[in-house]
Structure 1
């Protein structure tokens, strides 16, 4: 990921409703949610949700798939991974022990089975 791509993603996430949308869709992986369900979950009007979904999609943070008249949105986890790696790429000045708490915290969100 380059600086321009990271700025696009961070800009898209810098608005509270879009951040809530993204976090909601991350919680609903891998199935995603239809746009109408996203609007209902967040109690936001449908036309407002559509604009936010479009912004997140242009930033590469969401993917969508049409099923008849319904569009299902999903968080693009590879893009999230790229953004996270970009942000911490030069973490801790080549002292990996300083990054251990960060790695442990991220590992605890998705424990191995």
Structure 2
């Protein structure tokens, strides 16, 4: 992942409703969730949720598909894993991250 894409992804997630929607979509799995079900689960009006999902989609973190009259949104796990890999690419100065976190706990 390029730094500009990481910034765009982090920017999209840097809002409470978008972060909550993305986390719910991650939990939903690859089948995703209908926009109406997301709106109900998060207690966000459909018009507001549509704006937030568009931001996540523009950042490449979610995909959408039509199923009948519903729009189904799903987390893009490859993009999510790419962001996590970018953030942890040079983690712990080459040491095992598990060993580093164990030292912090002790």
Partner of 1:54: 54
Is contact 2:92–2:100 with CA below 8 Å preserved after alignment?
no
Please identify runs of 4+ aligned residues in structure 1 that moved more than 4 A.
none
* Pairs aligned (count): 101
TM-superposed CA distance for 1:68, in Å, is 2.2
- Unpaired stretches in structure 2, ≥5 consecutive residues: 102-106
TM-superposed CA distance for 1:81, in Å, is 0.3
TM-superposed CA distance for 1:46, in Å, is 0.4
Report the 3-state secondary structure (helix = DSSP H, G, I; strand = E; otherwise coil) of the residue aligned with 2:11: helix
Is contact 2:18–2:53 with CA below 8 Å preserved after alignment?
yes
Cα distance, 1:101–1:11 mapped onto 2, change above 3 Å: farther
**1: distance between equivalents of 2:66 and 2:79?**
21
Query: What's the C-alpha RMSD, in Å, of the aligned pairs?
Result: 1.5
Report the 3-state secondary structure (helix = DSSP H, G, I; strand = E; otherwise coil) of the residue aligned with 2:49: helix
**2: distance between equivalents of 1:35 and 1:102?**
41
